[in-house]
Amino acid sequence: MIDTRPTLYLSRLLPDPIMAIVRERFQMVHEPLDALPSLSALRKGLCQADVAIVTLGDHIEAETIHAATRLKVLANYAVGYNNIDLAAARQRGLIVTNTPDVLTDATADLTWALLLATARRVVEGDALVRSGLWTGWSPTQLMGAEVSGKTLGIIGMGRIGQAVAQRAVGFRMPVRYHTRQPMATTSLPREWEHRSLHGLLGEADIVTIHLPLTPNTHHLIGARELSCMRPTAFLINTARGPIVDEEALANALKTGIIAGAGLDVYEQEPAIHPALAQLKQVVLLPHLGSATVHARVQMGLVCLENIDAVLAGRSAPNQVQ
Ligand code: GLV
Ligand code: GLV
């Protein structure tokens, strides 16, 4: 019997419940692996597919987009889509979709985990206990920075920035935020006060970044911005690595311009700036923002919903351009 199911290219293995749906409903171009495909494997796969799900490590360049002539929809398994040449997609009429909303809580929660771990030296504490060198409670051991009541500065007030701000209530933290584009701030609680970027950097005890990566946000936080921050302040980044100039950040940390940093994302993932890995006042996570079972399954379902809409001739609910 002829298999009339559409062909799907999936660049990585997704959680089991999504794999079960995908295997039933589509002809798979190939059996996906857990590892990132090579650029040539990615191109080859996309060229054979009617629809595709790709991840944030897959760089989808203009050449690939133009070569993949059968492809109708590219569902990015992420909210950020800086990995895709959108201009080329637009030009070629390829629909690109993302997965907003379903990972907002997971990413906001992880931001708080990283913020608290950085300020309260959680990773150093864990290492001390495991080392066997802990000699018991001490009045001066691993003292960190108080979080409750401090001023939280949020750069980017999209869904994730707002979810981070909502969680500040329990910590009685005044929220200052910066958005590059004017937004309907009337919809935001009045206690959250808008600041210029430099105003926010000078005022906040903890600065957290929640912006997409675009040419305008690349290295938005560099040496000059870091020098506006307080020497007691912390920088948290769960958005995209290249928004921060990592070299400048490493220098600011080494010279005490700021007190510490919590990073979930890096300029050249998975490579880490070597100086950052040497510093105790930095907590480094392996891009875990959306890494909950719930969010990762929902992200798969959102990709499938968008693919179904396009295959049925409807508009994709999460088209990004
Ligand atoms: C994760 O980084 C995402 O953009 O979904
Ligand atoms: C992500 O969903 C954002 O808009 O911040």
CATH number of residue 97's parent domain: 3.40.50.720
CA 304 – CA 306 distance, rounded (Å): 5
Task: Give the model confidence (pLDDT) of 250-262 as tens digits.
Answer: 999 999 999 999 9
* Residue whose pair of structure tokens reads 């701000």 in the numeric block: 165
Instruction: Tell which atom from ligand 2 comes closest to the C-alpha of 161.
Output: 5
Please tell me what DSSP assigns to residue 67.
H
Instruction: Single out the residue of 288, 230, 239 nearest to residue 260, CA to CA.
Output: 230
pLDDT at residue 185 in the model: 61
- The β-bridge relationship of strands 27-28 and 193-194 is unpaired
pLDDT at residue 271 in the model: 96
Say yes or no: 71 and 24 in one domain.
Answer: yes
Whether the CB-CB separation of 59 and 83 falls below 8 Å is answered with yes
Site to probe by mutation for ligand 2, drawn from 77, 111, 160 as the one with most ligand atoms within 8 Å of Cβ, is 160
Residue 269 lies in a domain: yes
CA 313 – CA 299 distance, rounded (Å): 22
Say yes or no: 236 and 115 in one domain.
Answer: yes
Residue 78 lies in a domain: yes
Say yes or no: 78 and 197 in one domain.
Answer: no
Bridge partners of 236, per DSSP, are 208, 262
Residue 21 lies in a domain: yes
**How distant is the alpha carbon of residue 112 from its chain centre?**
14
178 is catalytic: no
pLDDT at residue 180 in the model: 77
Residue 319 lies in a domain: no
Task: Give the model confidence (pLDDT) of 216-250 as tens digits.
Answer: 999 999 999 999 999 999 999 999 999 999 999 99
Residue 320 lies in a domain: no
Say yes or no: 71 and 177 in one domain.
Answer: no
CA of 81 to the centre of ligand 2 (A): 11
* Domain around 94: 7-102+293-311
Among 61, 247, 269, 305, which one carries the catalytic annotation?
A: 269
Sign, Cα dihedral of 147, 148, 149, 154: positive
pLDDT at residue 184 in the model: 64
Say yes or no: 264 and 297 in one domain.
Answer: no
**In the chain, beta strands by DSSP E:** 7-10, 27-28, 51-54, 73-76, 95-97, 152-155, 175-178, 193-194, 206-209, 234-237, 260-263, 282-284
Q: Please state the pTM of the whole predicted model.
A: 0.96
Say yes or no: 82 and 155 in one domain.
Answer: no
Say yes or no: 172 and 217 in one domain.
Answer: yes
Residue 321 lies in a domain: no
Residue 134 lies in a domain: yes
Whether the CB-CB separation of 183 and 157 falls below 8 Å is answered with yes
Q: Prior bond to 270 cis, omega within 30? A: yes
Say yes or no: 96 and 110 in one domain.
Answer: no
3-state secondary structure of 54: strand
pLDDT at residue 226 in the model: 99
* Residue whose pair of structure tokens reads 């995209």 in the numeric block: 240
- 108 ligand 2 Cβ < 6 A: no
Say yes or no: 95 and 109 in one domain.
Answer: no
For the chain, residues with pLDDT lower than 50 are: none
Among 121, 176, 178, 240, which one carries the catalytic annotation?
A: 240
pLDDT at residue 186 in the model: 67
Helix-then-strand count for the chain, H and E: 12, 12
Total structural domains within the chain: 2
CA 134 – CA 142 distance, rounded (Å): 11
- 158 ligand 2 Cβ < 6 A: yes
269 is catalytic: yes
pLDDT at residue 268 in the model: 96
Say yes or no: 39 and 66 in one domain.
Answer: yes
Task: List residues near ligand 1 (CB under 6 A).
Answer: 56, 78-80, 103, 289-290
pLDDT at residue 34 in the model: 94
Say yes or no: 170 and 27 in one domain.
Answer: no
Residue 318 lies in a domain: no
Site to probe by mutation for ligand 1, drawn from 12, 54, 79, 265 as the one with most ligand atoms within 8 Å of Cβ, is 79
CB contact set of 307 (below 8 Å; sequence gap of 6+): 8, 51, 53, 73, 75
Say yes or no: 196 and 255 in one domain.
Answer: yes
5 is catalytic: no
